Amino acid sequence: MKIHKEGRRILFFTLLALLAVNLLLFRYNADNDGFNKVFGGISVIMFLILLQFFRSPARRLFTHEDLIIAPADGKVVVIENVQEPEYFDDMRKQISIFMSPINVHITRNPISGIVRYFKYHPGNYLVAWHPKSSTKNERTTVVVESEAGPLVLFRQIAGAMARRIVWYVNEGDEVNQGEEFGFIKFGSRVDIFVPLDTEVKVQIGEKVKGGQTVIAQLKTPPPSLF
């Protein structure tokens, strides 16, 4: 198990702070040994919880040009046809994955292709399952022209706990399915918007793994014989 690069700085300074406080307590509060031990135990638990936020497990990635792979670990909370106003301005099929604080927070490209649009939106920090979080919260929007042809939009959305979104893509980049395109610190939500004729392969409430679970299949024309 590796620690993701986005967490190394936070973990280092948190460890230093906890060690400093505990050393000060054991030196200047030696008469209250019981309290010191309890605080020491709480410090270990706090650090372990923070550590698991930034874990980066090894993954055997699943790739296929017309399949949409889960961009994050979590639970499917939305499957519906909606109006997508930012880029397409028409009806699209939306699939949303909620990432809890105990999920891996890496976000991965659901499809291979070329980034045709990217935009970062500062915003609020509503709880990630709030219907307006998709348009009101801090978020990024990425549109990829897939190798199979159709355009796929996916969006990182910050939640009540997630206060920073990190991304590694820009317009014009070539991206590969399953590779990291960003990180949402302390969990949140990822929305995917695909054409209406896309066949969804998951159900509401299903748990998925980023880079491994097939969540949908794009409808593509059969190859021509001539």
Mean pLDDT of the chain: 84
Residue 159: DSSP 8-state: -
Q: So what's the pLDDT on residue 213?
A: 93
Domain final position from 56, 77, 97 = 56
Statement to judge: residues 49 and 71 lie in one domain? no
User: Minimum mean pLDDT among 73-82, 154-163, 203-212: which range?
Assistant: 154-163
User: Minimum mean pLDDT among 32-36, 51-55, 101-105, 130-134: which range?
Assistant: 130-134
Q: Looking at the 3D structure of the chain, how many domains does it have?
A: 2
Q: So what's the pLDDT on residue 61?
A: 80
**62 within a domain of the structure (yes/no):** no
**61 within a domain of the structure (yes/no):** no
Instruction: Reply yes or no on whether the pLDDT at 83 is more than 90.
Output: yes
Q: So what's the pLDDT on residue 127?
A: 58
Statement to judge: residues 80 and 176 lie in one domain? yes
Statement to judge: residues 33 and 117 lie in one domain? no
Domain final position from 56, 83, 98 = 56
Statement to judge: residues 196 and 137 lie in one domain? yes
Amino acid at position 84, single letter: E
Would you please indicate which residues are annotated as catalytic (active-site) residues?
Answer: 188
CA distances from residue 67 to 25, 50, 171, 178 in whole angstroms, order as listed = 55, 33, 22, 11
What are the tokens at 186?
A: 């302390």
User: Minimum mean pLDDT among 23-27, 81-85, 149-153, 207-211: which range?
Assistant: 23-27
Instruction: Reply yes or no on whether the pLDDT at 143 is more than 90.
Output: yes
Instruction: Reply yes or no on whether the pLDDT at 162 is more than 60.
Output: no
Taking the alpha carbons at both ends of the chain, their separation in whole angstroms is 50
Statement to judge: residues 119 and 157 lie in one domain? yes
CA distances from residue 170 to 56, 84, 120, 167 in whole angstroms, order as listed = 23, 21, 10, 9
Helix or strand run (H / E) with residue 51:
helix 33-53
Domain final position from 36, 56, 76 = 56
Residue 185: DSSP 8-state: T
Statement to judge: residues 164 and 137 lie in one domain? yes
Statement to judge: residues 134 and 102 lie in one domain? yes
User: Minimum mean pLDDT among 70-74, 110-114, 220-224: which range?
Assistant: 220-224
Q: So what's the pLDDT on residue 18?
A: 87
Statement to judge: residues 51 and 73 lie in one domain? no
Q: Measuring CA to CA, which residue among 156, 153, 161 is closest to residue 138? A: 156
Q: At 91, is the pLDDT very low, low, confident or very high (cuts 50, 70, 90)?
A: very high
**226 within a domain of the structure (yes/no):** no
Residue-number span of the structural domain to which 28 is assigned: 2-56
CATH number at residue 207: 2.70.70.10
Q: So what's the pLDDT on residue 147?
A: 84
Please return the burial class of 77, using the count of CB atoms within 10 Å of its CB with bins 0-12, 13-18 and 19+.
middle
Statement to judge: residues 84 and 11 lie in one domain? no
Q: So what's the pLDDT on residue 114?
A: 94
pLDDT digits (tens, 9 = 90+) for 169-226: 999 999 999 899 888 876 688 999 999 999 999 999 999 998 899 999 988 766 544 4
CB atoms under 10 Å from CB of 141, counted, come to 19
**82 within a domain of the structure (yes/no):** yes
